[in-house]
Amino acid sequence: MSGTLRGDADFLALGDWNAVCFRCGSKFKASTMLKNWQGFWTCSRCWEPRQPQDFVRGIVDVQTPPWVQPPPQDVFAAVCFPNGITAIDGYAVAGCAIATYVSPFFNPSVGV
């Protein structure tokens, strides 16, 4: 009587050999083993398909607008104040001053 124990896979099958399951470590014939998605050989009890969520891909979200343009330049309107339209030297503003005109609202204490 020999001292080794025989398992379910210990029988002669021509062209087949014994292999060990990567997950549970049990011995099976190689023809009954299945290759899982990670590339390891497992028994039919330990084999599992790859998670479908591994194949999910995001949808491309293009956030650039089809066309753009720069904002318009600021427009500065000239404002003529009473001291600027008065024809007094030192107070008159070019483009606003009126020759020989003194505004009734002229205030000499307000500078230009």
- Each domain of the chain, given as residue ranges in start order, spans 7-50, 75-112
Return mean pLDDT, the chain: 86
Is the pLDDT confidence value at 110 over 60?
Answer: yes
24 and 46 Cβ atoms separated by less than 8 Å: yes
Q: Of residues 112 and 74, which shows the higher confidence score?
A: 74
Selection from 108, 104, 75, 79 nearest residue 93 by Cα:
79
What is the percent of the chain with per-residue pLDDT over 90, rounded to a whole number? 51
Indicate the pTM of the whole model.
0.48
Q: How confident is the model at residue 39 (pLDDT cuts 50, 70, 90)?
A: very high
Give the per-residue pLDDT at 4. Answer: 65
| Lowest mean pLDDT segment, chosen from 22-31, 51-60, 95-104 | 95-104
35 and 43 Cβ atoms separated by less than 8 Å: no
Is the pLDDT confidence value at 2 over 60?
Answer: no
Q: How far apart are CA 29 and CA 97, in angstroms?
A: 108
CA atoms within 13 A on the CB side of 101: 14
In angstroms and rounded to an integer, the radius of gyration of the C-alpha atoms of the chain is: 47
